Amino acid sequence: MNQQHLDERSRIREAMDRLLAGQATASNGSLTVVALAAEAGVHRMALMKRHSDLKNAFYDRVRNETPQTPETEKRLRETVAKLKTTISNQNAELQELRQLVTQLTLAQAVLTTDQGTTARSSHSNVVPLRPPIT
């Protein structure tokens, strides 16, 4: 490794420490590769290509040393919470519908039984249908 390469690596490490400490001097202080490159004074693609191990180390330190949750994880957690609520509501509705089906089936059975009894007693000319002879 040449001296310029070693110098870039040391500047990137120092920039990592400053960003994680919340003491950014040359960037907006966000915990991203763009801010790290700006803080270190190196081109972003140099950080991505030549110093990818430092980029990965930076992201590992961000995950381990900061209490923040990535935005994508926040969105996923919100979506999961909404879906759990939806599932809970649908399960409750399904339970209600099952009870309604049971009640309607019982009501149909009662009405069918009552109707047959009432029809025979009130109308003497009604003949019940016989099942077909096979």
Digit-coded pLDDT (tens) for 1-49 = 688 888 889 999 999 999 988 888 888 888 889 999 999 999 999 888 9
- Residue 99: per-residue pLDDT: 96
pTM of the predicted structure, to 2 decimals: 0.50
The string of DSSP codes covering 21-71 is: HT--SSS---SSHHHHHHHHTS-HHHHHHTTHHHHHHHHHHHHHH-----H
The mean pLDDT value for 82-101 works out to 97
- Residue 22: per-residue pLDDT: 87
Closest listed residue to residue 51, CA positions, set 7, 9, 6: 9
Average pLDDT value over all residues in the chain: 85
Q: Please give the residue that has the higher pLDDT: either 44 or 114.
A: 44
